[in-house]
Structure 1
């Protein structure tokens, strides 16, 4: 693992020691995409870590500011400084976004929301840990025809191990991608190069990587859990690294939730635990609980996530494509229930080990990696804390496959479903957001909802290619 800097002085020494000429200032926009500007390393001083760099036109960034208040400052976070191995002489650093003119922190900076959430939980006496499982696809090529949408749109995916591939000697049939060994797994080398880069240059502790259930190069990378802001930084870094490693090999890595028909989509199942502020006691663990060693506080946390699950969807499943993943039969959570080891439930209490306090957690399965991790993790935490505050009863666990349950039985058990579209999820967020307000300011909530409404509206205007197939003869 590399010696990464922690303080401004160590970051300056790091730049000097590695002969860095240029530094990428990176930040995340409101939808969750990583943005950057590159500046000379010679501009970095101890003072610049306090004052930042006045380099950003906020009016050009989605969800940020208007043209008449566009001057913004990027303030580097020294502990995120790292080398970019595929571009010699260049380092990157994640930045906080501040208003220009000394007006303080920018309210719509997603990282600011996660930082505010961490302060809020500390004031409440807690610390939380997040462990996301990032899934993705690695394609050989994607051809997109959308230049003149009036004349028709379409896309074609090329993937060496897919059933439709004409080049591969080995294929992976639909839903049989978990876990074939090479040479059937034909993208292992890309995943390995990505995780080696994350370990050697960015200080990650990787727990596992493997092929996922779907064909066409679906994979997963799991890294060691951490605190909220650090985990969100790592999500952005992992996506950045994997996309660049794939591009280096002439391939395309995508975190789009549902890029292909007829097989599993891409999720970001997120493991969550809540501890006392000193980190000495897992508040979700009760060795005397016979069902899942889950404490009463743990049950309240589950209750809060289920109670606000439909509103959370707008943040953790934030694209129109997310709702093509959230359908029965593809290992995607559709039902707002909880269970031990049941992967058809929205919340699973992992039961790999017994009697291990440090391992007790829940797995929230609705999120996908198109979400903004700073907003998604903060929203999850606030739902959990609201559950504790209101002592929300999660109801009885459901230990059977809900996909195979009759509609009558689901009604008897009062099982709620996740929204079926982005618009429906945004409706829920507009009517259920009080639990977010200690951390999510009204400015970011309003901007986020407006941005996503417009996204849904625009995409709603385009005829789907399969509508031509089904309806051309009406």
Structure 2
């Protein structure tokens, strides 16, 4: 396998040749390697090692106490986990070129750690490979650039970013050009091929779109992207928020999954120009959709993983109109009111329920496993929905057999807990840990007395 550096082919021919990796990085000015993995929430954790210690770190010398982290299910008396860096995936950090970031897989001694998020996804992609499929994934990155310097509370980075309908606003983009340009330039430096970026539908909200790749690499990129955008924003006196719905009166941030399967030669197996349903999707793609819809409620607990996520998955609430977010478990053509959308031209399926706070490894693993189940069983999702589903009555929805997505994290977690596919994908340790952590998060929220309650009830009677 030819190794890569910042997404570009290198001259390193063997993944195991740590010396060449270290020498190449040193020649680029790198001093330290950040050996990284993610916790349950998709947040990167790391130890930094000088480059001359990369060899021992590549063999798992840097150990972590899992009990200190969310979703690394261990007791304090358990042997420690150690990330083994993926030497083919090194990224020189554009915000600090003395650091190279390595995504890693957790091991315990000589054994892969079953509850490692990245290895969970690799297990499912390996399952897909046995069927002859590569799972390709593109993730749309939406985020807020905010400051608290002016008001003492979060506000859009630009003080004149105040339009009621700021979506695609060129002035709003130009007034944030220095920080957005630095983000996009960094992405292109890494070889990610940004093909568009814009001011999104919330004040202070932006989106970047870049070329898809295999699911593991795309998940690595999203984890690093969130880190990188935060560091670049900090240089500009700002902070980046990945909270799905930071403002009640504005649109939230999705992280739409654009999915397809390819064969060994790289041909898109979801594309079909002769699709009788008129969506440009193959029979294989429809089977995949049906599998995802079968497990939609459980999937939501992973791709919309916070209490706040379900403030985004609502019909109304944004000052600019509708929320642009799905609320029903269904699919359609180029119709954004469906959970699963087949964009114009076909050949891919977009999952619109995923948000910016999700752990991409776990989300991609569960969606792929559900899609593969649909393929194995030859499931049919029925005809695509082309209407504005927000306007349908409950009677219409019932007649079309369209169900609601979960309306709270609590509801989603109960669906996840009841779904045997999720346990088989995550393994017992990660599944039990995830359900317990998220159930506790929901219970904590349910017990919290909010300002809305005191405003409404304190002097009500």
Q: TM-score, normalised by structure 2?
A: 0.91
Paired residues for 1:265-284 under 5 Å: 265-284=252-271
Cα distance in structure 2, aligned partners of 1:204 and 1:184: 21
Q: Aligned-pair distance for 1:274?
A: 1.3
Distance 1:124 1:209, change over 3 A: same
Kindly report the root-mean-square deviation, in angstroms, between the aligned alpha carbons of the 2 structures: 2.1
Match in the other structure for 1:432: 419
Asked if residue 456 in structure 1 is aligned to residue 442 in structure 2, the reply is yes
Cα distance in structure 2, aligned partners of 1:89 and 1:451: 36
Cα distance in structure 1, aligned partners of 2:207 and 2:358: 16
**8 A contact 2:29–2:97 mirrored in 1:** no
User: Structure 1 unaligned runs (5+)?
Assistant: 145-154, 162-167, 354-358
Match in the other structure for 2:153: 156
Asked if residue 68 in structure 1 is aligned to residue 77 in structure 2, the reply is yes
Paired residues for 1:236-385 under 5 Å: 236-328=223-315, 329-351=322-344, 353=345, 360-385=347-372
**8 A contact 2:33–2:54 mirrored in 1:** no
Q: 1:109 aligns with which of 107, 116, 130?
A: 116
Q: Aligned-pair distance for 1:88?
A: 4.9
Paired residues for 1:187-226 under 5 Å: 187-200=176-189, 202-215=190-203, 217-226=204-213
Asked if residue 470 in structure 1 is aligned to residue 459 in structure 2, the reply is no
User: Structure 2 unaligned runs (5+)?
Assistant: 1-5, 316-321
Describe the SS at the equivalent of 1:69. Answer: coil
**8 A contact 2:202–2:251 mirrored in 1:** yes
Describe the SS at the equivalent of 2:153. Answer: strand
Q: Quick check: 114-123 or 61-70, which moved more?
A: 61-70
**8 A contact 1:140–1:252 mirrored in 2:** yes
Show CA shifts across 1:99-127 (max 9, x none).
1x33x111111001111111111112211
Q: 2:374 aligns with which of 378, 387, 395?
A: 387
Give the length in aligned residue pairs.
443
Cα distance in structure 1, aligned partners of 2:259 and 2:173: 33
Asked if residue 13 in structure 1 is aligned to residue 7 in structure 2, the reply is no
**8 A contact 2:145–2:157 mirrored in 1:** no
**8 A contact 2:219–2:360 mirrored in 1:** yes
Show CA shifts across 1:162-197 (max 9, x none).
xxxxxx3x33323x2221113565323212101211
Paired residues for 1:7-46 under 5 Å: 7=15, 8-45=18-55
Cα distance in structure 2, aligned partners of 1:459 and 1:437: 25
Show CA shifts across 1:284-318 (max 9, x none).
52524351122222211111111111110111111
